[in-house]
Structure 1
Amino acid sequence: MNKIILFLFIFISSSLMAQKSSTKDKFVVQIKKIKGDLNKDNLADLIVVTQDTIKPKAPYKLNVFIAQPNGTFKLIISTTKAIDPQYPEGKNGYYNGNSFYDITIEKGVLTIKNELTRGNFEHKFRYQNNDFELIGFSETYSDGQGTMRTVNFNLSTGIRLTTSERYDDSNEKPTKAEKKILIRPLPKLQDFAPFTTEYY
């Protein structure tokens, strides 16, 4: 009887330990770590981007820590959606040309920067209304046939400006189009995923 109880105890303990280790955070490779004041309290907040290089898609995790007066940091946002995985279709799958390359803090604005095969794009977030809200999106890309297109979308004002310009020997003049697109409420960083809408 004692042997059966001992066996059950060992079996249950090992099962619980296996579950615990399988749920352990695998985002252990640090990609980027920066400091800067995000909430205008004159304290340097902390942004850390890590990656899970074990999973086939090699996803990224973005952590936002707000500095506390006692010198510690409080984690307020942790998301794996704000930055596309390195391999969206898996390491052996189709490569879409998007790749994360930087994150910055300038004048309180958090910017996530990505490269394209023929261009780049950025998403800008500001701490306001007790949240990090998307306030800007910009994109520059070539169609591979002599035309460069740029998009600048100020989500705060709703002004979206699109420009197309030939970069070959054509004498074609640049074309510009401006639209007013009000998006309310503004997208929040913890819920945000790039290119889930046609606008950003």
Structure 2
Amino acid sequence: MRILYTLVLLFSGTVVWAQTFTPPVFPVSGKSTQNFILPNWHLKTSSQGDLNGDMVADLALVMELKDTLQELRPDGTTNLGSPRVLLILFKDPQSGFYKKVSQHNTFILRHGEGAMEPEPFGQISIKNRVLDVSFEYLRSHAAYKFRYQQNEFKLIGATTGGVSGEQVEKWDFNFSTNKALHEWGGTSDQKLKHEWKAVPVTQLKSLQDLLMPQSWEVLPNVII
């Protein structure tokens, strides 16, 4: 029975046992979203909006592998799930084609990385030239704001917070002004206490600098 079970897993095509996984390089250009969907991948979600200031709607896509595998993640953990890739595409106003300007293979969390709530991925959205990537956990949340400047997507803001033991804590970072709003208090409080903190960041981090969410200790004991 053990041999038979092993063979079923090996040839089922749905579970692949591996320690490392490198996603393919997605196409550099295409006429539509369909041109960026590779075999054995599917489009999980997308958002449309101007990111580079040319008044033309660009695209942000999250691609997901159809197979499930044991993936070694940048934080050293192993997750049983489907790898996800974030693609950012600029649309050429003259040709109408989309050009890939960024591919990030590890930042989007996978199913299984949300602890008691196994699906942590929230959504991606584009508004006012800012790409927002959010995650939702059982009792907490995190969101990251990226703006295209200096030919990179820079992290200009982030929010994180949650509830633990009937206590609420929130952080709202603005890396353009190097300030953060800290709020805390009880779940029954009508108004939370708050204070502004200086953020000792001399240079904006880029999207590629962030291998995973909640991996940067931006202040002592405050991780985003």
Identify the residue that residue 29 of structure 1 maps to in structure 2. 42
- Verify: 1:83 aligned to 2:112, yes or no: no
- How many residue pairs get matched? 171
- Verify: 1:138 aligned to 2:159, yes or no: yes
Task: Note if contact 2:57-2:91 (Cα within 8 Å) is conserved in structure 1.
Answer: yes
Superposed CA RMSD in Å reads 2.4
2: CA distance, partners of 1:23 / 1:81: 9
Pick from 153, 158, 161 the counterpart of residue 173 of structure 2: 153
Give, in angstroms, the shift of residue 129 of structure 1: 1.4
1: CA distance, partners of 2:97 / 2:162: 41
Higher Cα radius of gyration:
1
TM-score (norm 2): 0.69
Aligned-residue sequence identity (percent) comes to 26
1: CA distance, partners of 2:23 / 2:159: 37
Distance of aligned partners of 1:26 and 1:135 in 2 relative to their CA distance in 1, 3 Å threshold: farther
- Verify: 1:62 aligned to 2:86, yes or no: yes
Per-residue CA distance 1:136-163 (angstroms, 9 max, x = gap): 00123101x1111111010111101211
1:107-146 alignment, distance < 5 Å: 107-143=128-164, 145-146=165-166
Distance of aligned partners of 1:100 and 1:27 in 2 relative to their CA distance in 1, 3 Å threshold: farther
Identify the residue that residue 188 of structure 1 maps to in structure 2. 206
Identify the residue that residue 57 of structure 2 maps to in structure 1. 44
1: CA distance, partners of 2:82 / 2:127: 28
Structure 1 outlier segments of 4+, above 4 Å: 22-27
1:165 counterpart letter in structure 2: G
Give, in angstroms, the shift of residue 191 of structure 1: 2.9
2: CA distance, partners of 1:195 / 1:150: 14
**Unaligned stretches of 5+ residues in structure 2:** 1-21, 25-37, 70-79, 219-223
2: CA distance, partners of 1:116 / 1:26: 31
User: SS in structure 1 opposite 2:81?
Assistant: coil
2: CA distance, partners of 1:68 / 1:182: 38
User: SS in structure 1 opposite 2:208?
Assistant: helix
2: CA distance, partners of 1:27 / 1:181: 43
